[in-house]
Amino acid sequence: MMKDDLRQRSRKHSAPDASYTSGTRSTAIRLRAAPDSDSFSRGSYPVSMTSVPTFRGVFSAFAVLALFGLSACNGDSGDDDAGGAPDPAQEAAEEEIPDNPLPEPEFGDDETVALPLGLVSPPGYDWEIYSSDDEFQPDQPHSHQVARTEMFGCQDYISVMHSVPMVTENPTESALEYLISMDTSQHGSPAFLNPLASSGLEVTGVEQDNDTVTVNLTGFAGSTDQCQSWQILKQIETTARAATGAQQADIVLDDVPLAAQLGLEDTTPLTIHSLD
């Protein structure tokens, strides 16, 4: 069980890295559970690198509630000093980039860090129906949700969860590698979706320059339709931003923007709404 795997009571820094194997694909992920950590008391989403996730559910019917509007822009055409038409290029440059309310994850004294994991919210799911008075369900993803994006694509949202504290040198790479290596794409009830689990993508590197994080990938997305293409793109983007605190994310597949390869016109990052 995923819960039992993460409640291990000892760890050595010299221990070998965990390896997660799915079918014919084996992805080595440099993660280990924190020593003497209780994944539930910390309020962290329980994940395991050696067992199939236990938070499984049946995929509900497609019916998404529009909870948030599209992100606002500060482009103001105003009165043109020259009396001519506004410059479209200037308006585009002045378009507001939404702030990222999630700071870069902090490492603990034991060199561990909780990984932010982006999952597609269940259709028709409203995070606000779960209040602080609701019974805590440690095996359900919604109990570990810390943020949610605005609506995108086919009326979808990305929910951000936190894993138990893990040992890793690069939280962004580790979070994405974990999502890609999972052998199930549905988690909990109602079911959160992980389309990256069915992709053929591999992370080759992550770089950050000021407020922009660049994720380099190889392989293939393996999306079945445009809706899933949007889900994969925004799942990677949101996870990378949540793991770095960056405002923007550039996702590149074999040196070509992933959005272009998926046939998507993607120009601005999603607004992220913190649950706190």
Radius of gyration of the chain (CA): 19
pLDDT of residue 57: 32
| Residue type, position 92, single letter | A
Helix (H) or strand (E) holding 2: helix 2-6
In a domain, 119, yes or no: yes
| Residue type, position 225, single letter | D
pLDDT of residue 183: 82
Write the DSSP string, 115-148: EEEEEEPPTT--GGGS-TTSPP-TTSGGGGEEEE
pLDDT of residue 189: 72
Q: What are phi and psi for residue 222, nearest 5 degrees?
A: 70, 25
SS3 of 161, please? strand
d(C-alpha 275, C-alpha 71), whole Å: 17
Query: Cβ neighbours of residue 72 under 8 Å, at least 6 residues apart?
Result: 96
pLDDT of residue 98: 59
d(C-alpha 226, C-alpha 156), whole Å: 12
The domain tally of the chain equals 1
In a domain, 49, yes or no: yes
Q: How far is CA 219 from CA 141, 222, 252, in A?
A: 28, 9, 11
Asked if residue 103 lies in contact with residue 245, where contact means CB atoms within 8 angstroms, the answer is yes
**Two structure tokens written together for 254:** 């074999």
In a domain, 87, yes or no: no
**Chain centroid to CA 75:** 28
Query: What is the domain range of residue 6?
Result: 2-57+94-274
Asked if residue 198 lies in contact with residue 223, where contact means CB atoms within 8 angstroms, the answer is no
d(C-alpha 127, C-alpha 275), whole Å: 9
Which residue is listed with tokens 């606000």? 128
In a domain, 80, yes or no: no
Query: How would you write the pLDDT of the chain (276 residues) with one tens digit per residue?
Result: 433 443 333 333 333 333 333 333 333 334 444 444 333 333 333 443 333 333 233 222 222 222 222 223 333 434 444 445 555 544 444 455 556 556 566 776 777 888 899 999 887 666 554 444 555 555 555 566 788 899 999 989 999 988 888 888 889 999 999 999 988 887 777 788 999 998 999 999 999 998 899 999 999 988 889 999 999 999 999 999 999 989 999 999 999 999 999 999 877 889 888 876
In a domain, 72, yes or no: no
